[in-house]
Every structure is written in C-alpha cells, then in structure tokens.
Amino acid sequence: MAESIKDKVAIVGMGCTGFGELWEKSATDLLVDAAYEAYEDAGVDPNDIQAAWVATFYEYSGMAGLAASVPLRLQYKPVTRVENMCASGSDALRNACYAVAARVYDIALAVGVEKIKDQGLSGLGGNPHAATHVNPPSTAPGIFAMLATRYFARYGLSPEEGKRMLGMISVKSHWNGARNPKAHFKREVTIEQVLRAPIVAWPLGLFDCCGVSDGSAAAVVVRAEDAKKFRPDPVYIKALQICTGFGEGTTRTDFDYTHIEETYRAGARAYEEAGISNPREEISMAEVHDCFSITEAVTMEDLQFSPRGKVYEDILGSNAGFFTLQRALEGEKALPVQPDGGLKCFGHPIGASGLRMLYEMYKQLQGRAGPRQIKNPKLGLTHNLGGPPTSPTIGCVIVGL
Amino acid sequence: MVGVISYGAYIPLHRISREEFFQAWGGFAIPGEKAVANFDEDSITMAVEAAIDSMMGANQEKIDALFFASTTSPYKEKLGSAIVSTVLDLPPEVRTADFTGSLRVGTIALRSTLDAIKAGSARRVLLAVADTRLGAPAGDFEQTLGDGAAALLLGEGDVIAEITDSYSISDEFSGVWRADGDTFLRSWEDRMVLDEGYSRILPQAMSGLMEKCNLTPRDFTKAVYDAPTDVRRHMRVGTQLGFEPGQVQDPMFMTVGNTGAALATMMLAAALEEAKPDDRILFASYGNGADAFILEVTKAIGKLGERRAIRKHLESKRMVKNYQTYLRWRGLLTLEAARRPEQAPTSISGLWRHRREILALCGARCTSCGTPQYNNPGSLGHSPARVCVVCQAKDQFELYRFADKKAEVFTFTQDNLTAHADPPATVAVVDFEGGGRAEFEMTDRDPAQVEIGMPVEMTFRKLYHDPARGIHNYYWKTRPIRC
C-alpha cells in the first residue's frame, strides 16, 4: 500500500548562490558555493553525504552524475544526473527524499546547477541533437504567449486589460526582488515601464519574461526522526508530487490553452498528500514557476489559489494585491507569491530553479528571510514547470515546520 | 484522344513594384510589377502548389507518372519529382522524372508525356513546371524575371483539350544561360539574342507546325507562346506570323514577370481559363530550339471544377514592403546573425523515416476512439503515434492526411525573438476540420490580421536550408485561405 511522504523527510541544510550573469563563475564555482553553503547550514562534512542527485538541463552544464561528483569531489558516491527540463531541480529533491525515506541512505544531497550565459545567446539555448527540424520557429516566450492570447480571448480581457494584469505580476515580483541581495534583478519597476517595454512574443513583452541566469542551489535531506540532530528548526516535507504531460496539448483539441492540467493535478495530489483542503487559506506562501507572467497567472488558478478565470480579481480587481509580499508585510491578509522575486527577478538557471524556490520557503519557515520575512508562515509551496505548457512536467513540493 | 485532363497554376502571393528596383539603382524604369516567391518558397514548393491546384475537382483516377520540369531545382543530385510525389502522397510505383537544362523543359516534358501516353506506358501523368530564376542586383533581369508555376494533368479519354499535333526544332543557340555554379542569369548581346534567337527560332516552330497541319493563323482562337525577357518582342512574333493582336495570349509581364520555364505553361493555363469548346490553341515554347503544339478544346472543359489557376492567384496579392526585403528573401544579403541557437545538424535518416508525416502531412486516426491525431516528428513527442493520445489503444491507427484539410486558429503568437526572414514569426495552434490539432508556422500572412478563429489552409514550404549539409528541409505551414 502506497504511503504519503508527509513528515518522513526533513531538509536540514540549504545553499543557494546569487543568480545572474555570472561571467566570472563556472558551473563548478556555482555548485561548490551552493553545496558548501548547504553543508555548513546542515553542519555536515562533505564525506557525510551518502548519495547525490544533480539537476541540469543543458549538457554543457555537466553530464551524468559526474556533473556534481567531479566539481564537489564526491568520492566513490552514488551520484545521478536528473533531467526533467525546468522541473529537474524539484525532481532531484524528490529522488533524494525518497532515497532517505526508503532508509537506503541517511543523508542525501539534491543539487541543481545551470551555466547558461556561456552560450552568448538571447534567451535560452537550443536543442543540440540532430533532428528533423520541423518544429515551428517558436521560442519559449512564444510557446507560453499562446496561453495569454487564448486566456484574454476566453475571459474577455482586451489586450490592454490583459497586458496590464500580466504587467502587475511582474511589478510585484520586481518589488520582491529589489529586497533580495541574491536576485538577478534587484530593481523595482513601474507598470508603465512594463507596458512600454518591447514585445518579445505577442502579447508578452520584455518584463513578462524571466531572467536567463547562471546559478546553483542545494539541499541536504535526512529522515524526519534524525532531523533535530542536525538543527533545531528542520523543515519537513509535506508533499512531493510530479505530474508529466504526454503530448496532449498540441494534439488533442480538448486542451483549452487557458490552464495547465498537469499543474492542477500535481497541486491537487500535493494537497491530498499534505492534508490540505483549502489551499487559498492554508498555504502561507508560494514560489511558483513564473517563467512568464502568464504562466504565473494560470498557475494561481490551477493551484486553486484563485477561482478559475478569476485571477484578475486577485491581481487588479476586487482583491488586488492578494499575491503581493508588500501586503503580507503590512499585516494584511495575503498569499505572497514569489517572495524572493521568482524566476522573474531571482533568475532562472534551469536545473537550479526548483531548489532555489525551496530555499526561499525554507528560509521563510525558519524566520531567516530578512527584509522579506513573512510573519509566522506555516506551509510553503513550490511549483516547478518543465517543458511547454501543452505537455509539461510539474514538480510540486509542500514544506512546513 | 490524348490531351489535357485538367490544369492548375501558382503565382506567389507577393509582388514587388518595379519602381522599387528603379528607386534602388536608377537606370531605366521598367513599368509594372513582378511576382516574388516568399522566403520559404522555391521551385519545388511552387510545383506542389500548382500540382494540387491541377488536381482540384479533377477526377481522382490513379496517377501513373509525376514529372517535374524546372531550370531551378534546388538539387543537382536529388529528384525533385520524387519529393513532389511524396508530398502529394502518390504511391511508390509512380514513375518520376525531372526535366531540366532549358527554358523549354516544360514542353520537352510535355512531348515526352504525350509519347508515353500514346505508347500506353502511362495512362495519366501529372506534369508540374516551376521556375525561380534570379537576376543580379541592378540589372534588367532583376526587374523582368518573376516566379511562378503551372501544372497539367495529362491523359487519355475525357480530356478538356486534345493535343492533336506537335512540332519541334532543336537549336544550340542560347541567348541566355547559366553555367554550373552560376547564381544569376547571363546573357549575350541582346540584339543577337532576340534577332537570331527568339524572333527566328520560335516562329519557325510555330509556322512549321501550321504548315504540317495545313492550318493558318485564322484557324486558331489563341496563340499562346513564350515571351522573351524583353517583352516588346513578344507581340511582334505573333503579328509577323499573321495573328491578330487579340489572338495573342498576354505574357503577364506587367503582373508576374518572366517565369522562365514555367511561363508558357502558365500562359496556357490562363488561356484554358477563358477557353470554350471547339477553340483551337497554338501553344509554343522557346529555349535552345522550340516546341509547338495544337490543342483542341472539348466540351469537357465546361465540367471542370473550380480552381485558382491564374485569375484567382493574380487577384490575390500582397506587395513586398521594400527592396531590402526582396534582397533578404532571395538570400542576397549577409545579415547580422541573430544571437540565437545555431541549427543542429539535420538528420537525413529522421527526415526519410518520417517522410509521410513531414512531406505528405499524414497523421493517424485511431480506429478505436476515432480521434484524428498529428504528431509533429520534430517535437518532443514522437511520431508516428503508436499509442492513442486519447484512449491509449496501441497500434489501432489508420493513415489520416491533414494536408488537404482546412483548419481554424485556436491560439497564436507573433514571435520577435526567434531568428526569422520575415519577422515576427507567426506561430499558431490550429484545429482541423474533422478533428486533430497541431502547431505550425503561419506564412503569407499580415501579422496584424491574425486572430483566433481565423480560417487557414495548409501550404507546403521550405522550412530552411542547412548549408553545412546541403539539405533543403521542406514542411507544411498554415496560411490564411489564399483566395
């Protein structure tokens, strides 16, 4: 009989580099900085790590378990590379958690890294494999922009209304990023700046797109019963879910392009695993996969934070500002989303992102989030999306004290 | 009775005013405009368009042979007709051949076709002729050469025009030519090109045929014959033979330009659009000699279905923005490279394995749940489908062709980030009539006019050229319903 992962595993140490265009740092520098911060935070010696899972997407960030074992000189340990596109970081964590829960190992490391900016490209890199090349000439923003086109049409938002709603998502994340010294973009922006920015892929403009960044993040996990031996304030895993698409969105006419079914299902399963019946009320804060502003908008509905088709109300309508950290810090009822700036401002080194999200939830739960500290958070959620919205892999993690 | 069963033509959507060339270079202002292939079109894609047009409303009897005639086949060593045949989803038993090497290849292929039908080795033959010749910047050819295609479905029996006789002359003289490796058309001194070439050889074939058949210009409704790039000499050939100006078919110089090997057959398509039963047409083409034919139009022409051919294709047009755009589309400028990922190596084995999905746009229909489904062989999902995306039945599929289905835009984007010859790249997810969905680039569109619910049709295009491997990668795109 399958069991829930709830309260079986704890995170006892985490590390995260600053994200950004880190011209002077290699993937090795980033991995070592993140992993050693996590070791120190957990109070473990590198040789205490019994197994590791490393998340990278691009092969030039590293291949195989060697991607982590060589830079970290993990000697003769079982190390495996996890690649589940942008959700790789969440999946590396899932593997490490399941391994300690199965009592195969006592201490495991999940680490993610991406060194993107050595490619010299605008946006993300390409798929290096020999191919038939009959895909449309889409880019990541183009693929997600198609959600926005359809969302506006379905819910009767004029392009101006729709773009303003999406723009406020980015304004909110920039406010948070400006309060985070590790973020890639640490500058507040106004809605006028966002709306004036050049269009990347209609209707998404420059500020609707997340940063393309270098960075790394790491977590040390142990079984829950051992956690207090490492630190007084371990953070417990309440749910770990992965939900993977099967090519349905571009094949089946019943996909509506206004939601992401995999997010909905991963969220619903995570809530069930964690014993949550009203996510909007019970989740204290979330880091979701805001690769583009529209992704965050539909994710609010798919995670049941906003009713279907009504996210506008929580952004610009009757409950405007519900997802802002600002409102939470002012002591008002809110569900702060992307308190660390999100992919939008913290940045998006692909393999690291899932663990970076977790880093903020971990720090917030421990009361160590500095100027961004949310008052008494109980449960934090991370939502990590890999691949196109028509057939993604979703990682959804819920953590709490 | 051997002759034309049906006909079709293709003129690219885009036209450029000759004023643009004059503005860029000065010199002599030639009036009118010319048809310009989009950046994603070439002689193969235009031959496909004309071939599809020729099959519209024609009886769907089995095609035994597919011939492709062009002086601008993108490959020196790869059969263009084999590509076109696969695109049209013709069976592997179909006979394919390419004809090239002369402006007269369209009619050289036509004579071979007629011989094959008369000899009984083929009952029905589809002949597609297309050309996209380039004139060097700042020259007259840049202004006079246009792009276009035509196709004839030929056979025995219920023909719309019987081809009763033909006559040919071979002559080594070449006033214009391209050597191996030449990008642009070359020409000898134009007085001799016309006086000793076009104006001497073409009428010889036309009068030779009339003498052979005991006919005079008065016995013909129309004279449809090639024009030289200096179009002023076209009419003179006809009138010197004794044709009235009203009998001479317009060579479309003011609207399309000189479409090389395709010109005569395109003019014939235009003539057939106007033709009535019992009309007699003298049809001739010039290039290293000349071919002449007599066509006698039958009653069956009245029963032929609607097609776009010349008239509709001519009316439906969009002007190229400016001369720079023209240079970019023809690949005549080195532009700053976009800071985007380089193209990964093209896989010949992948293209071949998925040829029916890629070239014929075949998907599958699940016989268990009935869902038509198209799996893009280049995307992360894999093709062809083995397990149904709806009901998960394994290997319960029948072939289902999407190429001829109309569709509707479900959602779209205009992508400025992607490297593209005609930015922004319009990418749309479309739902097909009868079921099935896929994501394609949209071409021949005005970005400002693209909207959800917009009806589209499929068009066969060149997706890109992989210069490191010499591979032309063809695929389908959507376009707004052309006309």
For B162, the 3-state DSSP assignment is strand
Q: What is the pLDDT confidence band of residue A137, given thresholds at 50, 70 and 90?
A: confident
Between the alpha carbon of residue B125 and those of residues A135, B48, B109, B117, the distances in Å are 33, 14, 11, 8
User: B413 and A119 in contact by Cβ < 8 A?
Assistant: no
**Distance of alpha carbon B229 from alpha carbon B252, whole angstroms:** 11
Q: What is the pLDDT confidence band of residue A30, given thresholds at 50, 70 and 90?
A: very high
pTM of the predicted model, to two decimals?
0.95
Is residue A86 part of the annotated active site? The answer reads yes
User: B414 and A199 in contact by Cβ < 8 A?
Assistant: yes
Distance from CA of B415 to the nearest CA of A (A): 4
What is the token pair recorded at A303? 């995670």
Find chain B residues with C-beta within 8 A of A197's C-beta: none
pLDDT at A138: 85
Mean pLDDT value across residues A17-27: 96
Look at residue A126 and tell me whether its pLDDT is greater than 80: no
Is residue A289 part of the annotated active site? The answer reads no
Q: How many CB atoms lie within 10 A of CB A184?
A: 25
Q: How many residues appear in chain A? A: 401
Instruction: Give the H/E segment covering residue B144.
Output: helix B140-144
Residues with Cβ within 8 Å of residue A76, at least 6 apart in sequence: none
DSSP per-residue letters across B170-196: E----SEE--TT--S-EE--HHHIIII
Vertex A119: Cα angle to A115 and A125 (nearest 5):
85
Nearest CA in chain A to B392: A246
Give, as one character, the DSSP assignment of residue B198.
Answer: I
For A50-69, give one letter per residue: b (16+ CB within 10 A) or e. bbbbbbbbbeebbeebebbb
User: B411 and A198 in contact by Cβ < 8 A?
Assistant: no
Q: How many CB atoms lie within 10 A of CB B48?
A: 29
Q: Rg (Cα) of chain B, in Å, rounded?
A: 23
Find chain A residues with C-beta within 8 A of B379's C-beta: 135, 247, 250
Give, as one character, the DSSP assignment of residue A174.
Answer: H
Give the residue with greater pLDDT, B56 vs A314: A314
ipTM of the complex: 0.94
Distance from CA of B435 to the nearest CA of A (A): 7
Instruction: Give the H/E segment covering residue B331.
Output: none
pLDDT at B19: 96
Selected for mutation to probe chain B from A57, A132, A149 (highest B CB count within 10 Å) is: A132
What is the token pair recorded at B91? 């069976």
Peptide bond into A203 cis (omega under 30): yes
Distance from CA of B451 to the nearest CA of A (A): 9
Find chain A residues with C-beta within 8 A of B441's C-beta: 136-137
User: B425 and A251 in contact by Cβ < 8 A?
Assistant: no
**Distance of alpha carbon A220 from alpha carbon A231, whole angstroms:** 12
pLDDT at A18: 98
Q: How many residues appear in chain B? A: 483
User: Pick from A130, A198, A201: which is nearest to B415 by CB?
Assistant: A201
Encoded amino acid at B352, one letter: W
pLDDT at B380: 58
**Distance of alpha carbon A307 from alpha carbon A284, whole angstroms:** 17
What is the token pair recorded at A390? 């028509």
Encoded amino acid at B164, one letter: T
User: Pick from B347, B350, B415: which is nearest to A142 by CB?
Assistant: B415
User: Contact B228/B290 with Cβ under 8 angstroms?
Assistant: no
pLDDT tens digits for chain B (483 residues)? 999 999 999 999 999 999 999 999 998 889 999 999 999 999 999 999 999 999 987 666 789 999 999 999 999 999 999 999 999 999 999 999 999 999 999 999 999 999 999 999 999 999 999 999 999 999 999 999 999 999 999 999 989 999 999 999 999 998 999 999 999 999 999 899 999 999 999 999 999 999 999 999 999 999 999 999 999 999 999 999 999 999 999 999 999 999 999 999 999 999 999 999 999 999 999 999 999 999 999 999 999 989 999 999 999 999 999 999 999 999 999 999 888 888 788 888 888 999 999 999 999 999 999 999 998 887 655 666 789 999 999 999 999 999 999 999 999 999 999 989 999 999 999 999 999 999 999 999 999 999 999 999 999 999 888 888 999 999 999 999 999
Say how far residue A120 (Cα) sits from the centre of its chain.
24
**Distance of alpha carbon B362 from alpha carbon B234, whole angstroms:** 45
Which among B231, B259, B267 is positioned nearest to B12, based on CA atoms? B259
